[in-house]
Amino acid sequence: MKILDVLLKEAILSDLKADDKKGVLEELVTPVARIADINHDYLVKVLMERERLGSTGIGEGIGIPHGKVKDLESLVLGFGLSKKGVDFDSMDGRPAHIFFLLLTPENSTGLHLKLLARISRILKNDLFKQKLLGATNRDEIYSIIKEEEEEAFRTEH
C-alpha cells in the first residue's frame, strides 16, 4: 500500500499554526473530518485519548498521531508541516515539525500497522525529511512524497 493511495491533496497542510499538541491535532483533523464526513471534535477526542496512552511523537522532529474510529469506512491520512515546530512530548524531547495523521476503522489493525510501518520507513530518509521541511505548499509536499514512494518502490522490487 502506498501513502498516496490514502493521502488526498486537500488533507495536506503546509503551514500549521498551532503551538501545542491539541492545537496541531485540531488543525490536522479539520480537512480529514470533512473528507471522512465525521465529527471534528469526536476525532480530536479519539486522538487525544490515544496520546494519553503514550505520545505519538516518535522523535527526530516527527509526530504520527493515530487512532481507531468507529463508523469510519476506510483509512484516512492527513499530513501537516510546522515550520516553527511543536512540543509533541516526543521521546527525544525535540519539537516535532512533520506530522502524519492516521485514522483507521476500528476493525482494520493490519492495514493500520502496514501504513504506520511504511510511513516510519520513509521517514528514516534524512534527505526526504529535509525536502519536506523546505516545502512551501501542498503540491510540493505531494510531489516530494510521490517521488520518495516511487524510489522506495523501485528499491523494494
The closest alpha carbon to 57, from 5, 100, 27, 28, belongs to 100
- Rounded CA-CA distance 130/132 in Å is 5
Other beta carbons within 10 angstroms of residue 152's beta carbon come to 17
Centroid of chain to Cα 64? 5
The helix-helix angle for 40-53 and 21-36 (nearest 10°) equals 130
Is 157 annotated as catalytic? no
Tell me which of 66, 97, 112, 157 is the catalytic residue: 66
Which active-site residues does the annotation give?
66
